[in-house]
Structure formats: C-alpha cells, structure tokens
Amino acid sequence: MLRAILFDLDDTLLDHHSAAAAAVVDWAAELGLAGGPDHVRARWAEASDRHYRRYQARELTFVEQRRERVREFLGHNLDDAEADDQFGRYLTRYEAGWAVFPDVRPALGRVRAAGFAAAILTNGDASHQALKVRRLGLRDLPVMASSEFPAGKPDPRAFLGACARLGVAPAETLMVGDSLDNDVRGAEGADLQAVLLDRHDQHPSYEGPRITTLHDLPLPI
Ligand SMILES: [Mg+2]
C-alpha cells in the first residue's frame, strides 16, 4: 500500500530551467558578453551541469562548484572573491525567477486530500534548497537534501535515508521526478515505486509509469 510520495524539486516542482536561463541571459547582458541568448544559455548550462555533477560526486564543495561554473563561463583567471561576486550577480537574478509550475499546488492538494505523506527529496545543498521551498510558499513540505545523506540520488542511500526519516518502507513510497536516471531508476534501485515526470516529452518510449504533467499524477486510493 502506498503511504508517502517523494517529489524531486528542480524541474519537478520548481521551474529551475526557466529561472536559470533567464538569469544567465540578463547577467551576460550586464557584462556585455558576446554571443546570443541561446549560446549564453547553452554555455552556462554546460558549465553548471559539469561542476554540479562534481559537487554531487563530492569532488567539490557547494561553494567551489559555484566558483568553477563562473570560471568556466567567464575565465579561469578569476580569484575566489571575483568568482563569488560574479556568481552573486547571477544568483540574485536566478532567485528572482523562482516559481512553481502551475500544476504543483493542485497536485499537492490532491496528495494531501488522499491522505499521503509528502516530502521533497532533492540533490543539493540543504540550506539552499530549503530557502527555495520557503520562497515558493511550500513550507509544509519537509525538505530532504542529498547533502544530509551519505550520497545523492541515484544512490540508494538517498532514497533509503528519506524513507527512514519519513518512517515509511521503500515499497510504500512513490518517487516523482523529471530525471530518468536520478529519480526514477535510482528510486527503483532502492525498491521504491517511481513515476517519471516528462514535462518536455523527452522519453516517449519509456515503458514505465510516465506523466507529462502533475495533473495526471496517479493516486491509488
Ligand atoms: Mg530534477
């Protein structure tokens, strides 16, 4: 029997992609960087993915991955203070763009009405992710971040740690997220149930449970 639902945060509840893309284009315009918006967005996304992955692998601290993203984007000669200052210019804009997808609040309402426990399991820094959730007005959703566990998603320890904290068995827990590898395959590897939230229809041939909007989240009674 299903008792709890774990939601990923970035690009599942929070439209991280849009906020990051708008922020980097504005920041690049302030700096007078060459290249059109598509080029700027792609370069920042590439640098961000690369160094955030290193943070997830515990090769860099949270602060170091921010600096490395800036250096790859703007130039490797930046010292720590300069990199921090530049990241701050991006971050202010990124935070200003934080918003939930329109299907989030109705879905959370249905989850609660059906009597399921709900929480967020996110790869990231606990205090930064908690700040996002507070700003989004999702205060009653407990937030569990990979920085609090021995490893992040897709490592089974992240999912098992989250289930233990909620006091539910993995088989009684459903993970909902946009990453096929981190959220879905990771959860299944730890014996949770999982639904892929494929908002941009990127995995049409995925054979497991897949939805393209949280309005279609299946809630067994
Ligand atoms: Mg995500």
Q: What pLDDT, on a 0 to 100 scale, did the predictor assign at position 221?
A: 54
Residue 217 has pLDDT above 90, yes or no: yes
Domain 4-15+99-216 is classified in which CATH homologous superfamily?
Answer: HAD superfamily/HAD-like (3.40.50.1000)
210 Cα to the center of ligand 1, angstroms = 15
Name the nearest CA neighbour of 159 among 211, 128, 194, 125: 194
User: Between vectors from CA 150 to CA 145 and to CA 151, what angle results, nearest 5°?
Assistant: 65
The pLDDT value given to residue 146? 92
Say how many Å lie between the CA of residue 133 and the centre of ligand 1: 14
Of 33, 153, 14, 36, residue with least CA distance to 94: 14
- CA 13 to ligand 1 center in whole angstroms: 8
Per-residue model confidence (pLDDT) at position 209: 97
Q: Is 6 helix (H, G, I), strand (E, B) or coil?
A: strand
Across the range 84-107, mean pLDDT stands at 97
pLDDT in tens, 11-57: 999 999 999 999 999 999 999 998 899 999 999 999 999 999 999 89
User: What is the whole-number distance in angstroms between the Cα of residue 132 and the centre of ligand 1?
Assistant: 14
CA of 12 to the centre of ligand 1 (A): 5
Rounded CA gap, 139 and 130, in Å?
A: 9
Q: What is the pLDDT of residues 136-164, one digit of tens each?
A: 999 889 999 999 999 999 999 999 999 99
Confidence of residue 219 (pLDDT cuts 50, 70, 90): confident
| pLDDT attached to residue 55 | 93
d(CA 145, CA 120): 8
Q: What distance in angstroms lies between residue 75's CA and the mean position of ligand 1's atoms?
A: 28
202 near 95, Cβ under 8 Å?
no
Residues in Cβ contact with 206 at an 8 Å cutoff, skipping those fewer than 6 apart: 180, 196, 198
